[in-house]
Amino acid sequence: MAAVLAGNAAFAQVIAPGGVQLNPLLPPPPPPPPSPRIEAPVIPQIGVPIQQNYGPAPSSSFSDRITGCLDQAAAGGLDPAERAAYSRACANR
């Protein structure tokens, strides 16, 4: 008798083919992100001179300079107080 009851309990857990068991209390999953934009690279043409950009290189921000100086100070084995003094002097150069 116990085997029959256990068999019926397991039968109640079967999901119909193609059916999905979802929790109605959970929100639906977010939509997938958009696919990346694919662009073909620019191919140089024969007989067309290459145009060079002779403008000045973009300067790094103060935050970027501080981060680089702190990395240099840490690599040099300076303690936190010495790192602070070094990064101030380094970033203002």
Chain segment 35-70, per-residue pLDDT in tens = 889 998 888 888 888 888 888 878 888 999 999 999
Burial class (CB within 10 angstroms; exposed 0-12, middle 13-18, buried 19+) of 87: buried
Task: Indicate the pTM of the whole model.
Answer: 0.39
Q: Contact 36/61 with Cβ under 8 angstroms?
A: no
Give residue 29's identity as a one-letter amino acid code: P
The pLDDT tens digits of the residues spanning 77-90 come to 999 999 999 998 99
The pLDDT tens digits of the residues spanning 9-26 come to 544 555 555 555 556 677
Q: Where along the chain do its domains lie?
A: 61-93
Output the six-digit token pair for 25: 């209390």
Q: How far apart are CA 10 and CA 23, in angstroms?
A: 20
